[in-house]
A = this chain, B = another copy of it.
């Protein structure tokens, strides 16, 4: 199986879907010849040309709105937002228009629309407060949207294909810090279904629920903790909405312990949502409190020393897991 980076896997998914279905096209800023801010569309312009790889003006709102309109009229647009943070400019079109269109029109239409957004912090090359946010819960809380965040090249490709083939608006988050991470990706056409979590590491003393970069941090924590006899089960949610609760609950019912980890801010964030679900469904199985690891309620600083204190680190996961075992 070829070894590809997360970035290459995404690009391949785009290319294959563009080839497979003439209704698929991409629009976004500097995605043509330039290949996108992170190079995700590099080469696509040469193969598919300006009609299907559409450079846009810097107008996030019309980008999202026009994509939605084209979806209502039968196309399958894939939008690239240069940074997830900038989708704030398109928030109305995404949450008030796209998310609700099918519902408010009583099922008259479908909205096959994917909005790709790089999210999360880079640390080694930070760009500050509006280039590093985890915007997951700007969207998870909105009925009608699906939200995806892959952690590996395999999942990235398979999930993106599912997203493009889905008839709903899908917010497809890509973690910037994972773009260069490599992994095995099959040559054959495959999809990873939306709404199905994946156990990235099997273990039986504590479940860690995470997504994106935090999955890798959890796997690192697992290595540290293995020496202490703590055997982590790491669940990569992959799709943040609809959520695969069953995989989480089954794991917790097996391990009797859980830590929820999310890169977003603690208040109003997704870690709390996952934790509350675990408590609600698995209270009687739990042998300790659910650990809660999230970013502090502080904007993400430009300075990386400060940034490290704001965002969850491997050590925070390790500490939280220990605490579920009654250790200080």
Contact = CB atoms under 8 A, between A and B. Distances in A.
Interface residues of A, number: 48
Interface in A270-287: 270-273, 275-277, 279-280, 283
Q: Within the oligomer, what is the number of copies of this chain?
A: 2
A130 B144 CA distance: 13
Contact of A289 (B137, B271, B279): B279
A91 B143 CA distance: 18
A104 B142 CA distance: 28
B141 A267 contact: yes
A89 interface: yes
B141 A265 contact: yes
A129 B100 contact: yes
A190 interface: no
Contact of A137 (B141, B279, B280): B141
A241 interface: yes
A137 B267 CA distance: 9
Interface of A: 85-86, 88-89, 91-92, 95-96, 99-100, 103-104, 128-130, 137-138, 140-144, 241, 243, 264-265, 267-273, 275-277, 279-280, 283, 289-290, 292, 296-299, 301-302
